[in-house]
Amino acid sequence: MKEIDPKIYKKHHSFQDFKSHKTGIIDYQKTRAVRVLSEWSEGKLNTTHSVHKKENFVEVLNLVLVDLKSDLDDVLFKITPFIAEEMYTYSDEELLRFFYHRYRYDVFPQLERIDNYPPYLQIEPSSICNYRCVFCYQTDVNFFKKTTPGMGQMSLELFRQIVDEAYGNIEFLSLASRGEPLLAKEIEGMLQYVKGKFLNLKVNTNASLLTESKVHALLSGGVKTVVFSADAAEEPLYSQLRVNGKLDKVLKNIEMFQSIRQKDYSDLPVITRVSGVKVTEKQDIDSMERVWGGLVDQVAFVNYNPWENIYEAKPNGQTKACSDLFRRMFIWQDGLTNPCDSDYKSNLQVGKFPDHNISQLWRMERYENLRSAHKSGNRQLVHPCKGCAVV
């Protein structure tokens, strides 16, 4: 089935195809951003939020403003269609927070720079999944069993502890990683607990387990982006790629989501997206748009990366540092903390939350040593990084 074999996978810029209902928005949002940042620099905007007290806040926003005012093509920070659409969901004052965290997310990895918190935090409500997608690590039958140590669901108590520390320090979070988040028994309580705490909380789901109750929890909680993972718009291709999945069930569930959204949450600034992994030329973005386009705000394909078993991959000679080491951190369902999810067996784990807090884990000596190995061109000395395509 797989026909695409990447040598380099740019995870941050992984969209191969991206379609949105909005057009011509980059110039508008760039003009708006320059206006807002200029007003901030002149002291005309409210700066009482705690993020404005961050040591590098002024520096970062000034760098954003310089790049957005520049006519050069090689600036580090740009407003992409993806960013421009997200900006519609924020007020002017929220944009200041957004650009601070977005710059750290986009640019710090380019500079191989970090500060005291990861720009992005991925929390794993469940490591268990009901699918066995052909491109996913869940196909490792020797690892992903309910009886395997480390497999399970996060408790609401542990989730609250993570959220309490992240609040005010990290604005971009995902509830997703190795498993299906809606399998977590306490997912609805988790969604309610994050309400109003973060600029952008994203949930990735295969949509097979959506119920009316879960839809209301997603829409009434603190979720800004809901990503429905679907790689095809027709059978049998859908179920060939998303093994154990049924397209008709997922389609009905997303139709239910959209119906509830339109009826009860029509003014909610939430972004919905159907996103698939492009693993074969049989997948067609136009057919995806025809089927899913009327149900969600965006339809996209992301490039395929060989997630399914990095431990068996041959050394690929890659010496460029992995950007995720400077962009995001993962906390598994049991609190174990890992630099990436390609390493799904946690060979690179740096410690456990709450034995150490998020900031301590992010700056842990083992984490810093891993970054140093990558920065110095010695990635090929690290397993499993030596066979990974992510840069």
CA-based nearest residue to 205, from 268, 264, 146, 130: 130
CA 297 to each of CA 20, 21, 174: distance values in angstroms, whole numbers, following the listed order: 6, 6, 19
| The pLDDT of residue 172 is above 60 | yes
Whole-number Cα distances in Å, 292 to 14, 226, 287: 20, 14, 8
Residues 18-30 pLDDT 10s:
666 666 689 999 9
Q: Give 154-165 pLDDT, tens digit per residue.
A: 999 999 999 999
* Cβ contact 368:116 at 8 Å: no
Q: Report yes or no: 100 and 124 within 8 Å, Cβ to Cβ.
A: no
Classify each residue of 58-79 as buried b or exposed e, where b means 16 or more C-beta atoms within 10 Å of its C-beta: eebbebbbebbeeeeeeeebeb
Report whether 19 contacts 285 (CB < 8 A).
yes
Cα(361)–Cα(348) distance, rounded to whole angstroms? 12
Amino acid at 226: V
Residue 14's pLDDT is 56
Residue 239, CA distances (Å) to 230, 231, 248, 390 in order: 10, 9, 10, 27
pLDDT > 90: what percent of the chain? Answer: 74
The pLDDT confidence band at residue 224, using thresholds 50, 70 and 90, is very high
Cα–Cα distance measured from residue 377 to residue 387, given in angstroms and rounded to the nearest whole number: 14
Mean pLDDT of 117-138: 94
pLDDT (0 to 100) of residue 228: 97
Average predicted confidence (pLDDT) for the chain:
91
Mean pLDDT of 288-302: 90
Q: Give the start-to-end residue ranges of the domains of the chain.
A: 11-17+116-387, 21-110
Tell me: pLDDT of 317 over 60: yes
User: How many whole angstroms separate alpha carbon 7 and alpha carbon 135?
Assistant: 16
> What is the pLDDT, as a whole number, of residue 189?
97
pLDDT over 50 at 178, yes or no:
yes
What is the side-by-side strand order in the sheet with 200-205?
15-20, 298-303, 271-278, 225-229, 200-205, 172-175, 120-123, 328-331, 336-338, 351-352
Band of pLDDT at residue 333, cut at 50, 70 and 90: very high
Given a cut of 90, whether residue 61 has pLDDT beyond it is: yes
CA distance linking residue 55 with residue 291, whole number of Å: 47
The secondary structure of residue 379, as a DSSP letter, is G
User: Lowest-pLDDT range, 37-51, 71-85, 94-108?
Assistant: 37-51
What pLDDT does residue 29 have?
Answer: 95
Q: How confident is the model over 224-235, as a mean pLDDT?
A: 94
Alpha helices, H only, the chain: 26-41, 57-69, 81-87, 92-106, 108-111, 156-166, 187-193, 212-220, 237-241, 247-264, 285-292, 358-362, 365-375
Residue 286, pLDDT score: 87
Can you give the pTM of this predicted structure? 0.92
**Ranges 132-136, 148-152, 281-285, 307-311: which has the least confidence:** 307-311
Q: For residue 287, what are the CA distances in angstroms to 71, 204, 233, 283, 296? A: 37, 22, 6, 8, 14
Residue 2 banded pLDDT, cuts 50, 70, 90? very low
The CATH number of 11-17+116-387 is which of 1.10.10.60, 3.20.20.70, 3.50.50.60, 3.60.20.10?
3.20.20.70
Of 48-52, 100-104, 183-187, give the lowest mean pLDDT range: 48-52
pLDDT at 270: 94
Q: Over 50: is that where the pLDDT of 137 sits? A: yes
User: What is the reported pLDDT for 55?
Assistant: 87
The whole-angstrom separation of Cα 62 and Cα 64 is 5
Dihedral sign for Cα atoms in the order 320, 326, 328, 330: positive
